[in-house]
Copies of this chain bind each other. A is one copy, B any other.
């Protein structure tokens, strides 16, 4: 039997080439203009699962974009790993800031990726990290080292709220039955210090609309006498944070999980350079909630950010207008034990209540999800830890991430199993930004590490069940 690392070395070029082909398809789920591309990507993923050795794979219809399902059964008595990932990607805009086409993948070396990185939208989030699992399966099947059963559930709506996923899971409880869920859609600290994400923030995403006069007005004739929806919107948004950058929505912090000084001290041990952080972003200073470090602000604390704002004349030149309407897209990152539905209601109630006379304000809830924490005494976590230790030669650090994968708490609720987040990306990979990329070292290291997770998880599972 051939060992995984030599198999990866031998097939390296093919693995990179196959991923590049997948990245060429612009599967932007947020924009209907790309809907055919999204569908084509689902087909391509199904094909790759069959070629990797799944007994069966299919493109399953949903009310939205389809979910690709695949499975390889070794023995019903053995545990089953369910791999989740997504084949859709974020919109590429602002396109003008990309150094190469977002859907025209190129391999370039960078300071952090001396062995090269693949630049394309979705390279890291999540086509690249999802495809590591496909190639890991290929190795295990080809070499008869697959120690357990495996199922794949790859969706196409993760970047727009996974709206069809719950519908699918509720209707396929038996089919999706598993002992642990494995996801690579997060990052790690660095290529020399791997980490495993043990916590994710929840999300509440809303759109707000401020309506003033029934038509755009001449700012000379009406300026100063009528509430200007843009000025009003800026005042309302500004009021959502106090002078300490605490969020002012009443009740917002009521259920926020209190983290002990010990835990905070433990987290603070993770290597972090504020200097490098500032330089990487070219900012003179960080900014955030008083009383917390940058790492804490972006992991264990809830936040509120405007993701988009628009109103009035935004074309070339000048137009002296008071617009009839102004809009903003606002998202809140939530922590355990905030409930996203409750927070969304609190926000809607508060934001509509602070509307001044002279305007009408409407808050439209968009989507959201709960925060999540994995206990590190879980055998899934332990298996992942041992796998990283083998391939990186160092024990991974458990870490809370600021991002959100809202569907994880849905998995726990519906499928009754824990999720392990084996991420191989880096914070500097620019996911959701222009010039997203994924290190070739990380891509191949992921393919090497995953089979070891299967090995250790099955061992721990069996010894566990013998107790």
A positions within 8 Å CB-CB of B:
29-32, 90-91, 93-94, 97, 160-161, 187, 201, 203, 205, 212-228, 230-231, 233-235, 237-239, 241, 281-289, 294-295, 297-298, 301-303, 305-323, 326-329, 331, 333, 356-359, 366-367, 401-404, 427, 430-435
CB closest chain-B residue, reference A310: B314
In the bound complex, do residue A432 and residue B320 qualify as a contact, i.e. CB atoms below 8 Å apart? Answer: yes
A318 touches B307 (CB 8 A): yes
Q: Is the CB of B333 within 8 A of A223?
A: yes
Q: Which of B212, B220, B228, B303 contacts A223 (CB 8 A)?
A: B303
- B220 and A402 contacting across the interface, CB-CB below 8 Å: yes
Q: Which residue of B lies closest to A295 (CB)?
A: B225
Cα distance A434–B305 in the bound complex, in angstroms: 33
Chain B positions within 8 Å of A297 at CB level? 224-225
Is the beta-carbon distance between A427 and B307 smaller than 8 angstroms? no
User: Considering the chains assembled together, what is the distance between the CA atoms of A311 and B294 in angstroms?
Assistant: 24
Question: A295 contacts which chain B residues (CB < 8 A)?
Answer: 225
A312: nearest chain-B partner, CB-CB: B308
Q: Which B residues are in CB contact (< 8 Å) with A218?
A: 403, 431-433
A30 B318 Cβ-Cβ under 8 A: yes
Report the bound CA distance from A29 to B319 in whole Å: 11
> B356 and A287: CB pair below 8 A?
yes
In whole angstroms, what is the CA distance A403 to B223 when docked? 9
Q: Given contacts A283-B358, A313-B308, are A318 and B161 in contact (CB under 8 A)?
A: yes
A-B contact pairs, 28 of them (CB 8 A): A30-B316, A31-B316, A94-B216, A216-B432, A219-B303, A219-B432, A221-B431, A223-B303, A223-B305, A224-B298, A224-B301, A224-B333, A225-B294, A230-B306, A234-B234, A234-B235, A234-B238, A285-B358, A307-B318, A307-B320, A308-B314, A308-B321, A309-B314, A312-B329, A314-B329, A318-B329, A320-B331, A321-B433
Given the interface pairs A30-B315, A333-B224, A402-B221, the reply to whether A282 lies near B238 with Cβ below 8 Å is no
* A329 neighbours in B (Cβ, 8 Å): 312-314, 318-319
Q: Are B217 and A315 in contact (CB under 8 A)?
A: no
Known: A30-B315, A224-B402, A225-B297. 9 other contacts (CB 8 A): A220-B333, A223-B298, A224-B297, A224-B302, A224-B305, A234-B306, A283-B359, A307-B313, A309-B310
A289: chain B residues at CB < 8 Å are 224
Assess the B321–A307 pair: CB atoms within 8 A.
yes
The 7 closest A-B pairs by CB, nearest first: A224-B303, A220-B403, A308-B312, A285-B357, A30-B317, A238-B238, A227-B287
User: Which of B221, B227, B307 contacts A403 (CB under 8 A)?
Assistant: B221
* Cα distance A295–B221 in the bound complex, in angstroms: 10
Whether A311 pairs with B309 at a CB distance below 8 angstroms is: yes
Residue of B205, B222, B235, B326 near A298 (CB, 8 A) is: B222
CA distance A94 to B430 in the complex (A): 35
Cβ–Cβ contact B237 & A298, under 8 A: no
Asked if A283 and B433 make an inter-chain contact with CB atoms under 8 angstroms apart, the answer reads: no
A315 near B31 with CB under 8 A, answer: yes
Q: Contacts A218-B431, A310-B309 known; A283 to B226 CB distance under 8 Å?
A: yes
